[in-house]
Amino acid sequence: MRPTGSRWWEVPVTDGDGCGRMVGVPRPSNTLADGVVVLSPLDWGDVEPHLAGEDAELVRWLSGGRGTRATVRAHVRRAIERWHDDGPKLSFGIRVDGGAVLAGTIDAELDRAERRAGLSYGIYPAYRRRGLATRAVRLAARYLGERGDVHRISIDVDPQNVPSIGVARRAGFRFLRHVTDDEGDFDRYELRVRAPVVPAPPPPPRHGRP
């Protein structure tokens, strides 16, 4: 995906004859809401709430280690820079109370070569079992679908992480296959994204007239 201005992206599409071209599509907002959850980019105000909300479950399934003020600040700094650079990882805060309270995080890792994005998410203990993670995944999928350069969204889940599997299924993801990588063994759930509507190319001139 290539920015063409503040409100438009250029994305690659393939015509019916197999030829590729770049077309402009509206640039999606990185703040999304469904009436309960608000997704917006991580910012400096999220450092202390994240430190307060991190628990053993998040360490086990998501971060792999307890955060400190220094490491969380470094993470937020990278998140801000990556939003400026359009990835490859885009980090949202999962917010409630009209966006005023941070309840968790969700990351979208872009794989442009495969036109795929991977999601990872975590909810702080005080906000669990309210359906917030499912809402956040649906909102993130909406954002990725509106980008135009993502065709598939995947969630890799440890088979023992039953709550996260439930989130993926409730959000419309379907089991694809078992995968093994440097981080371990996971079950991959996938959602195919409907391509955004793009304008058709103009018809060729007829008899030398435009």
Stretch (H or E) spanning 168? helix 162-170
Stretch (H or E) spanning 145? helix 132-147
Identify the CATH number of the domain in which residue 67 sits: 3.40.630.30
Is the residue at 200 inside a domain? no
Q: Look up the domain containing 35 and give its range.
A: 29-192
Query: Please, which residues have CB within 8 angstroms of residue 203's CB and are 6 or more apart in sequence?
Result: none
Is the residue at 55 inside a domain? yes
Domain count, the chain: 1
Is the residue at 173 inside a domain? yes
Question: What's residue 33's pLDDT?
Answer: 97
- Asked, as a colleague might, if the bond just before 88 is cis with ω within 30 of 0, I would say yes
pTM summary value: 0.81
Radius of gyration for the chain, computed over Cα atoms and rounded to the nearest angstrom: 19
Is the residue at 161 inside a domain? yes
Provide the 8-state DSSP code for 64: S
Is the residue at 36 inside a domain? yes
Alpha carbon distance, N-terminus to C-terminus of the chain? 30
Q: Are strands 152-157 and 116-123 parallel, antiparallel or unpaired?
A: parallel
Are 141 and 171 spatial neighbours (Cβ–Cβ below 8 Å)?
Answer: yes
Angle (CA) 52-58-61 rounded to 5° is: 170
Question: What's residue 144's pLDDT?
Answer: 96
Q: What is the pLDDT along the chain (210 residues), one digit of tens a residue?
A: 444 444 544 555 554 455 555 555 567 899 999 999 999 999 999 999 999 999 999 998 887 788 899 999 999 999 999 999 999 999 999 999 999 999 999 999 999 999 999 999 999 999 999 999 999 999 999 999 999 999 999 999 999 999 999 999 999 999 999 998 877 899 999 999 875 555 555 556 665 555
Is the residue at 208 inside a domain? no
Is the residue at 9 inside a domain? no
What would the two tokens of residue 145 be?
A: 């679908």
Q: List Cα–Cα distances, 93 to 41, 42, 115, in angstroms.
A: 6, 5, 23
Are 46 and 76 spatial neighbours (Cβ–Cβ below 8 Å)?
Answer: yes
Is the residue at 149 inside a domain? yes
